[in-house]
Amino acid sequence: MKIQIWCWGAIRESFLKEGISIYLKRLQKYLSTEFVEFPPVRNASKLEVPILLKTEANVIADKIQTGDILITLDEKGKEMTSSEFAQYLEVKMGSGSKRLIFLIGSASGLDDSLLQISNDRLSLSKFTLPNQMVRLVFIEQLYRAMTILQNEPYHK
């Protein structure tokens, strides 16, 4: 199974790029993981938020293939401990699907149509996190989950 993390725009901060790169490299030991960064919608700052979200949703919907598992990261999603997430991930990886996609919305969030078609919704925290920081936090939790499943000492 391939795990993809879909998000909007490129990372601007060098410390975030470095952290993401470190965890992506570590994850390769366990599974194929890829960041897919969609370019920002043209003239996004001039669009009303509902129109922007619908435009982003249409781009995403066109990329989803039959059999994909789509998990949205959403502030109203399920919260889990790292160990619970590891077990959750193990079940999803055993589903027989080709791709497990984790979708991080843009700074404006996610359109309701994406939340409705997602297989599940997860929340990283009740805190509001910067969109680009979510990427680093999530990739670290993905790595942590894999070390938990392998009974390795990273998770204490």
> Helix and strand tally (H, E) in the chain?
5, 5
Amino acid at 88: Y
Q: Distance (Å, rounded) from C-alpha 156 to C-alpha 151?
A: 11
99-144 pLDDT tens trace: 999 999 888 889 999 999 999 999 999 888 888 899 999 999 999 9
This prediction has a pTM of 0.94
Identify the band that residue 14 occupies on the pLDDT scale cut at 50, 70 and 90: very high
Q: Domains in the chain, please, with CATH?
A: 2-149 (3.40.1280.10)
At position 136, the amino acid (one-letter code) is L
Dist CA 88 CA 77 (whole Å): 14
